[in-house]
Chains A and B, each alone.
Chain A
Amino acid sequence: MYLGIDLGSRTIKVCFLSEKGEISFEVVESGYDPLKQALGLIQKYPAKLIVATGYGRHLLKEHLSCEVITEIKAHAFGVRHFFPEARTIIDIGGQDSKVISLDKEGRVARFLMNEKCAAGTGRFLEIMAMSLGYKVSEFGEKALQGRGEIKISSMCTVFAESEVISLKNRGANPLEIARAVHQSVVDKILSMVHRVGVEEKVVFTGGVAKNVAIARLLQEALGLEILIPPHPEITGALGCALYKREQT
């Protein structure tokens, strides 16, 4: 048994990988005390089987002296498992987003992460869904019903939110606003993708990969097929477990 844990700022993902390669996982909210949450999930397992990644990885390391790797490396491992031929990874999580370019051997060649703000992350989508009165789970579908008639010009979450409010007040179609919000996330991601350089196959991971509109809009803009692993939000945790297996 190998155990990978991804301590994100919004959720904690744990992935169990059996000797036979069977994968099971658990996702919980980070809550007020992420460390306690994490320890609750994994304390019955010996630390030497555990590899941690994510925002809180060092916190866990201090407590368990388990091994840690970065999200970048973890994603490379997790993605290669499903798509050995992957060369570009687009990961959009709760609090950050990144684009990773892999070389032919599947090693990390270059990567970029978003700046300090929430633009281009899951958090941004969440805030916008809330202010439009949509559930996060339906937000993407709603956006696809818009035709792309409006554009949101502001990249900053705070300004974008007031832009959305003023659009609402002017009576704009909420489906169109939803579409515009998604487009703005995609634009932000695309600028990173172009800086890193894109090569096929392109794999989309992180919780936001479950949002159908983001995936569709990315695919259209890049003119390339976008692959999404099953349960894209656990890619990092799975990558940790796979890494551990490779080490042992």
Chain B
Amino acid sequence: MMNFEVKADPELWEKIGVDVTRLSKMREVLTDLYKKAFLSQKNRPEGMRYFDEVISNIHTGRIREILQAKEEGRPVVGTFCVFVPEEIIVGLEGVCIGLCGGSQGTIPDAEKVLPKNICPLVKSAYGFRIGRVCPYFQVLDVLYGETTCDAKKKNYELYAEELPTYVMEIPQMKRKVDEELWLKEVKAFKEHMEGVAKRSLTEEALHEGIKIINRKRKALQRLNELRMTENPPISGKDVLLINQISFYDDPVRFAEKVEALCEELEERVKRGEGVSERGAVRVMIAGTPMALPNWKVPNIVENSGGIIVYEESCIGSRYFNNLIPEESKDLESMLLNLTRRYMKINCACFTPNEERIQDILSAYERSKAEGIIYYSLAFCHTYNIEAYKVKRACEERGIPFLFIETDYSPEDVGQLQTRIEAFLEQIRERRS
């Protein structure tokens, strides 16, 4: 497996208008990073091979598949938030790509335009677009934005100058009127999406979309149950990787592969075979999403004798928790069910957001974690401020809590290493 590489296809890149020189460099960096972070792990499940393949094809094979879909008349849709209803996109046979912004490399591009003191996720993603380093951006038919945080919201105005962009209004509160607003927005989105797809969303099609995405979320839930077992059969990093991949892989194939992996993991659990050393400290992560290839903190945690057993994040539980009931088959009730399912995503952009604290506390219990690392990207005000309430709730219950605010740059790795190691030491000391 050490001959792994993230593949290149300069011809294809040229054709879709990617900056070939830069992407060539970037894929070398990604190859190295991936080998170090993932392929060096001991005792990895066989089923991870597929996901290694996906990463290897991230800039080539998958792009060819998407171009093929485009030729068949299927729309290619980019999103930045787990609020954009994937069921509708998939129901209309669209290809849904959750765009990522987890790399330091494109931040200087973005900073030519955007202020320095905003969240690195926003900067990185925008840098990928204007630096033309991301093949996915190059093949999009439309970008769906949303009104969640200010940084993203205002950034969509700039995206709109680059490519067709449509912004959904996400409510900021959870009252009845907000649910009504969201239902209207979901309907408007459906209409817009129908225009893009040049077809209308039939009841069967939406039902099919719901089933496909439910299956994908269910597979991720099953994986999550397995990673929470006493002697986890898979590393937290691998689970994060799978969640990251769920944002751009074909949903049906992806679900099948995750299910197959789960079968292997169930066998492992039966045999009592785990990935980490006995006594590894069980850590739960809560906070802002870690987009590909942002593996900085999980790397430190799992190289220092910890294992991540839960991730309360949008590339984690906030994405796969809650399904849409499959019983109703008429359009109105399916859209209402969909609306309600999405209203249960407890993003820090909402106020008040007590449900999120409850979610975190119950996930902590369920996962038998021994401490919580609250992860906030720098300048993400909503998650950053909410950290205080989560911290207080943890302290009241004697839950070890570590707050980390960081970005994608390597300069604080040494310091984070010390803080995370000390946190794990602190937990071990409490055991005895």
- Using a CB–CB cutoff of 8 Å, the interface residues on chain A facing chain B are 55, 58, 69-73, 96, 107-109, 111, 113, 116
Contacts and interface: CB of A to CB of B under 8 A. Distances in A.
Contacts of A113: 415, 418-419
Interface of B: 411-412, 414-415, 417-419, 421-422, 425-426, 429-430
A111 B414 CA distance: 16
5 contacts: A73-B426, A108-B426, A111-B419, A111-B422, A116-B415
A71 B422 CA distance: 8
A108 B425 contact: yes
Contact of A116 (B411, B425, B429, B430): B411
B420 to A, nearest CB: 9
Given A70-B421, A108-B429, A109-B426, 17 more contacts: A55-B414, A55-B418, A71-B418, A71-B422, A72-B418, A72-B422, A72-B425, A72-B426, A73-B422, A96-B415, A107-B426, A107-B429, A107-B430, A108-B426, A113-B419, A116-B411, A116-B412
A53 B135 CA distance: 45
Given A116-B411, A116-B412, A73 B425 contact: yes
B288 to A, nearest CB: 18
A71 B417 CA distance: 11
Contact of B425 (A55, A58, A69, A109): A69
Residue from A55, A70, A107, A109 with most neighbouring chain B CB atoms (10 Å) = A70
A11 B430 CA distance: 32
B315 to A, nearest CB: 25
A82 to B, nearest CB: 20
Nearest to A111: B422
Contacts of A96: 415
Contacts of B426: 72-73, 107-109, 111
Nearest to B405: A115
Nearest to A107: B429
Nearest to B412: A116
A70 B300 CA distance: 14
Nearest to B421: A70
Given A96-B415, A113-B415, A116-B415, A70 B430 contact: no
A55 B415 CA distance: 8
A69 B418 CA distance: 9
Contacts of B429: 73, 107-108
Nearest to B303: A58
Nearest to A69: B425
A16 to B, nearest CB: 24
A18 to B, nearest CB: 26
A96 B415 CA distance: 9
Contacts of B419: 111, 113
Nearest to B409: A116
B411 A70 contact: no
A69 B423 CA distance: 11
A70 B415 contact: no
B415 A108 contact: no
Closest 3 A/B residue pairs (Cβ): A72-B422, A70-B422, A108-B426
A109 B402 CA distance: 11
A112 to B, nearest CB: 9
A222 to B, nearest CB: 22
A109 B401 CA distance: 10
B412 A70 contact: no
A58 B303 CA distance: 12
Contacts of A109: 426
A69 B411 CA distance: 21
Contacts of A58: 417
Contacts of B415: 96, 113, 116
A30 B424 CA distance: 28
A70 B416 CA distance: 11
A55 B417 CA distance: 10
B376 to A, nearest CB: 14
A100 to B, nearest CB: 9
Given A107-B430, A113-B419, A70 B414 contact: no
A133 to B, nearest CB: 31
B387 to A, nearest CB: 12
Contacts of B425: 69-70, 72-73, 108
B176 to A, nearest CB: 39
Nearest to B418: A70
A116 B412 CA distance: 6
Contacts of B417: 58
Nearest to A106: B429
A156 to B, nearest CB: 14
A58 B418 CA distance: 10
B407 to A, nearest CB: 10
Contacts of A71: 418, 422
A107 B430 CA distance: 8
A113 B415 CA distance: 8
A210 to B, nearest CB: 23
Contacts of A111: 419, 422, 426
A72 B412 CA distance: 17
A116 B407 CA distance: 12
A226 B417 CA distance: 29
A44 B429 CA distance: 31
A96 B414 CA distance: 11
Contacts of B411: 116
Contacts of B421: 70
A72 B414 CA distance: 14
Contacts of B418: 55, 70-72, 113
A71 B429 CA distance: 15
B422 A108 contact: yes
Nearest to A116: B412
Contacts of B414: 55
A73 B430 CA distance: 13
Contacts of A73: 422, 425-426, 429
A213 to B, nearest CB: 26
